A = this chain, B = another copy of it.
Amino acid sequence: MKGEEMNEATKALKFNDQGLIPAIAQDVASGEVLMVARMNAEALEKTIETGEAHYWSRSRKKLWRKGETSGNVQKVKEIRADCDKDVLLLKVEQIGGACHLGYRSCFSWALKDGTWTEDGVKVFDPEERYGKK
């Protein structure tokens, strides 16, 4: 995608006062909702350019290529926006798991009998993968 075209798409979006927009990552094959992270304009640009999901890390205050440490990259197959243009939806091929805790999806807690019950599918060992507890 040409830079000029990308800018038009980015300009149409409503970033918040910190220049961020939430992006939902969804498994393109299964439809499973994997995670929600934030993008700034640069993260969206990098995502479009490379075909791999980039986000803005609010804790580390830096651009973050998903999977740069864990190898669990997201190959982006489709980018969608909602009617208010203030949320993005990425349909991705998720390598490994999306969740830093080792689950395939971050949404691994179900409300059951009034408590959040962990029922996610573990696909990697985070201690081993990140080399720390």
Which residues of A line the B interface, CB within 8 A? 1-2, 4-6, 8-9, 12, 22, 24, 26, 30-33, 35-36, 48, 78-85, 87, 89, 99-101, 103, 106-111, 113-116
Contact = CB atoms under 8 A, between A and B. Distances in A.
A83 to B, nearest CB: 5
Chain A binding surface SS class = mixed
Contacts of A5: 113-115
Contacts of A103: 83
A83 B110 contact: no
B33 A81 contact: no
B9 A115 contact: yes
A12 B116 contact: yes
Contacts of A99: 83
